[in-house]
Structure 1
Amino acid sequence: MLANGSILASGLSDGDDRLLAADDPLAGLHLRCGGELPGTIAIPDLLQLVRQVRRSGLGLARTIHAHDGSDAISAWVEVEPAQDGSAKGGSGCAIRVHSWQAAPLPLGDDAAAERRRLSIDRHLAELSAWLDAGQRLIAVLSDVPELGEVTAAMAAGTGRHWTDFLQPEKGIHQQPLHWRLLDGSAVAVPGSRRKWRVTLVPHRRPGFEPSGFELLLLSDQAPAEIAPAAAVGGIAPLPRRLVGQDLAPVLQQPIARIVANAETIRTRLAGPLPDAYADYAGEIASAGALLLALLQDMADLEVVEAEGFATVPDRIDLSEVARQAAGILGVRAREKGIVVIAPPPEQTLPATAEFRRVLQVLLNLVGNAIRYAPEHSRVAIALEPAENRARVIVADEGPGLSAEEQVRAFEKFERLGRSGDGGSGLGLYISRSLARAMGGDLTVQSTPGEGARFILEVPADAEA
């Protein structure tokens, strides 16, 4: 009999070396290696160890090694014949994990290409939703008229599985289905004749199953042309937006195809290629991604500067919005070794503002902090009530801003002398415009060399 010690996770296999049950993180690694529960053990080192124990009838312990596509895993595992006959035929094995270490794999071409693909998908997504670990809806965001019906239905159906609203075309006979089987699947969207697909982005710790997901809804077809609304009752129709309604929908798809093709060339998936040409393709892909981001910024600029622009206030919890922003940008932060500190779940701060606009502002502020803060630093999101205002503060440990830079930072197209960072110089201008449209403001406090604190203020919830 092997000494138990401190057990991190347990599992049970049967006489056919199938994993019948397991705790995380063992179960999560087994699934990410392509296995099923129950199903043949999919971790090669563990499968070999279990077979040796089953055939010899003697317990063994050793370190096993594996990787799940993003992390290298090493774990100390003890395996011994099952004594209670609970395994199939009484000839299976009991598995105990006593230590677990995970380290990021070096980013090769495939990993870099996957990151770029995900970045492109985020720019092209016409609807974004946030899901819990069971793929149930937490929040949804979209301003595409064609998706108004499904967006409203999903917003009213929080807590339900997302497939209740976006039905996979292959059909689903049971839920929950493992997220890998749904990632990339074609879905039917009520009220739309376009073809759609979903991308599921997991939020997870190494070795564990995802704690939640970001869902992106995309179409490779441009939206149908919508005729300008006619005047009704003598009221003039809303002015047509050149970028957001005319240019962006037409340009996004071809630019995305250019980026995708350039990535295919750069990673040599289409065949051998000299290094110089692969580098050229990489530059084309990067330039295309920047152009997609600029298109989105210009469309947002057009919206906030339109005459009569207004937000749609609602009663929201700023703590919840802050945690969602931290979760969405968590992967980008981890790539630089930056820790994003979000408000704890038990903290709340009620406010009156438009949920998706507050989220948009926080994504910009936290994204900027991650972009310009040094590696292995921290970005903190804090909440602060202030009389009839509610504040969210995003603080970084970056180089900080001088008094002159603090004024210029909110000017249109201002990049504070930075070049080549991929920014348009519109993010803070748009964010302040949105904050003021919601009856609040966006300000900054900073001392050179001591980081910066960006403060978003919106009206407090008077009824809270």
Structure 2
Amino acid sequence: MRARTDGADHLVAADEPLAGFQIRAGGAVPGAIVMPALLSLVRRVRRTGQSASRAIQSVDEGRSVAAWALVTPEGDGTAIELSQWHQSEEAAAETPVSEALLRHLAEAEILLDDAQRVIAANVRAGDLAGLAAALEAGRGRYWTEFVRIERVSDLMTTRQGPLHWRLLDDAPFSVLGSPRSWRARIIPRVQGGFTLLAVPETAETLPEPTPKPTPAPDAATNAGASEPGWSRLLGRELAPALRQPITRIIANAETIRTRLAGPLAEEYAGYARDIADAGRHLMSLIEDLADLEAVEAPGFAPAPDRIDLADCARRAAGILSVRAQERGITLRTPGETAHVPAIGEFRRVLQVLLNLVTNAIRYSPEGSVVRLETGEDARGAWIAVQDEGQGLDAEQAERVFNKFERLGRSGDGGSGLGLYISRHLAQAMGGDLVVTSAPGEGARFELTLPPDRGA
């Protein structure tokens, strides 16, 4: 199907079923694009003047919708071609936060068929230009022929094609012509086939970190002295080893739950759902522990980027929009014309915001509003998340950033590490994370970062 947009990124013409989706979602033709992933792609193409393609996903009347979008510049606007449009017969499931974040971090997105053969690719990284050309010329071949898979390459044969996708998910790989290391994240698509995300493995420390004060000798007990070694073992050694088997457990449980492997009694489908949920919870704990090790490592320093806090706010709200809708909570973000330039590592800032907004949704009453506000003052650039929950008293506000602190809550699935890690990340980026609150008046968490004076 085809569609066109104007210089204001409004959809001025569209074939079915995109036109029908636009209207059912509350939009119009002509009118503003209501599909966030498509709108983001259109804006990028119009801004850069270069064609781009990617897999897009959304929800249409409670059902998952997916397609492959190719957008090219055309006059003041763009021309859109959508292929492989598919609507799931099952109710849409919320996109995991980790998956949505991976899509933002990925520098190449490759569409694969059921056998993991290349259908199309959208490569954004300059050092993957050779890979982009090879993929374009090699459509229909296995994606593993274009990269070097580390550690499992000896198990692969070109005659049989690649390993099962669950064995390759999160596998490290290298690309000829790129000095960086990469990881393959493979996501099954609702209409069959896969989306392969190439995510760079970035360094967690700078070559010359700022020295940190050494604790006094009597400040550490024997238990405390042994804690860093245990933390390093858990985050650096065990976390990578555990991710793959847990991912397989989740994927197998979902295969059983959705009855892709054959008919199954509802009772056992429920068991499979519980297994998948438990696996996701365990995976989130592992990710928290890996982040804990990173932020507590000597010399930890995120890589500074030039970012826009207003854009980060809109992205975080987009990722968590389904979760908010499920509880009838409205997420209000800065307008499209709002821009607050700052210096900070994009993925770490987004990680902090996702944690803050997730907490706000979790502890706010149904039907309330969560506001994401941005600005700049004498302290620097800032972004705040304000909820309408029960709020915190002075003693709780003092404790909320402590490690493993959950303020007496139980059964909510949290590790008590999110705010502790978020504050460490904020401070490592030259800013801070603070809270202002009062009982019955909600809580306001504010992240400050150095402003980007050169923007």
Q: TM-score, normalised by structure 2?
A: 0.57
Q: Which residue is equivalent to 2:302? A: 311
Of the candidates 409, 416, 423, which is equivalent to residue 407 of structure 2?
416
Q: Which residue is equivalent to 2:363? A: 372
Q: Secondary structure at the match of 1:348?
A: coil
Does the 8 Å CA contact 1:121/1:216 hold for their aligned counterparts? no
Per-residue deviation at 1:263?
2.5
- Structure 1 residues without counterparts, runs of 5 or longer: 1-9, 11-21, 33-67, 74-104, 137-150, 173-183, 203-214, 224-238
Q: Secondary structure at the match of 1:424?
A: coil
Of the candidates 116, 128, 141, which is equivalent to residue 105 of structure 2?
128
Does the 8 Å CA contact 2:329/2:367 hold for their aligned counterparts? yes
Per-residue deviation at 1:305?
0.3
Does the 8 Å CA contact 2:250/2:276 hold for their aligned counterparts? yes
Q: Which residue is equivalent to 2:226? A: none
Does the 8 Å CA contact 2:21/2:60 hold for their aligned counterparts? no
Seen in structure 2, the aligned counterparts of structure 1 residues 166 and 287 have a Cα distance that, compared at 3 Å, is: farther
1:190 to 2:175 alignment:
yes
Does the 8 Å CA contact 2:105/2:347 hold for their aligned counterparts? no
Q: Which residue is equivalent to 1:171? A: 139
Q: Which residue is equivalent to 1:28? A: 18
Residues 110-137 of structure 1 deviation map (CA, whole Å, 9 limit, x = unaligned): 436x44xx42972995983499xxx99x
Q: Which residue is equivalent to 2:328? A: 337
Alignment map for 1:417-456 (pairs within 5 Å): 417-456=408-447
Per-residue deviation at 1:281?
2.5
Q: What letter is aligned with 1:451?
A: G
Q: Which residue is equivalent to 1:384? A: 375
Per-residue deviation at 1:199?
4.3
Seen in structure 2, the aligned counterparts of structure 1 residues 127 and 189 have a Cα distance that, compared at 3 Å, is: farther
Seen in structure 2, the aligned counterparts of structure 1 residues 288 and 195 have a Cα distance that, compared at 3 Å, is: same
CA RMSD of aligned residues (A): 4.6
Q: Secondary structure at the match of 2:370?
A: strand
Of the candidates 111, 134, 139, which is equivalent to residue 91 of structure 2?
111
Whole-angstrom CA distance in 1 between matches of 2:425 and 2:323: 24
- Structure 2 residues without counterparts, runs of 5 or longer: 4-11, 23-57, 64-86, 111-121, 141-164, 202-228
Seen in structure 2, the aligned counterparts of structure 1 residues 322 and 164 have a Cα distance that, compared at 3 Å, is: farther
Does the 8 Å CA contact 1:127/1:216 hold for their aligned counterparts? no
1:401 to 2:401 alignment:
no
Q: What letter is aligned with 1:28?
A: L
Q: What letter is aligned with 2:175?
A: P
Per-residue deviation at 1:352?
2.1
Seen in structure 2, the aligned counterparts of structure 1 residues 408 and 307 have a Cα distance that, compared at 3 Å, is: same
Q: What letter is aligned with 2:342?
A: A
Identity %: 49
Whole-angstrom CA distance in 2 between matches of 1:385 and 1:279: 49
Whole-angstrom CA distance in 2 between matches of 1:124 and 1:23: 31
- Choose 1 or 2 for highest CA Rg: 1
Q: What letter is aligned with 2:293?
A: E
Q: Which residue is equivalent to 2:52? A: none
Whole-angstrom CA distance in 1 between matches of 2:304 and 2:357: 22
Of the candidates 243, 256, 265, which is equivalent to residue 247 of structure 2?
256
Q: Secondary structure at the match of 2:96?
A: helix
Q: What letter is aligned with 1:392?
A: I
Q: Which residue is equivalent to 1:71? A: 61
Whole-angstrom CA distance in 1 between matches of 2:311 and 2:101: 25
Does the 8 Å CA contact 2:107/2:198 hold for their aligned counterparts? no
Seen in structure 2, the aligned counterparts of structure 1 residues 395 and 246 have a Cα distance that, compared at 3 Å, is: same
Alignment map for 1:10-409 (pairs within 5 Å): 23-24=13-14, 26-28=16-18, 70-71=60-61, 110-111=90-91, 114-115=93-94, 118-119=95-96, 122=99, 125=102, 128-129=105-106, 154=124, 164=132, 167=135, 171=139, 190=175, 196=184, 199=187, 217=197, 241-409=232-400
Whole-angstrom CA distance in 2 between matches of 1:121 and 1:388: 31
Does the 8 Å CA contact 2:239/2:286 hold for their aligned counterparts? yes
Per-residue deviation at 1:363?
1.4
Per-residue deviation at 1:380?
1.1
Q: Secondary structure at the match of 1:383?
A: strand
Q: TM-score, normalised by structure 1?
A: 0.56
Per-residue deviation at 1:254?
1.0
Moved more, 264-273 or 119-128: 119-128
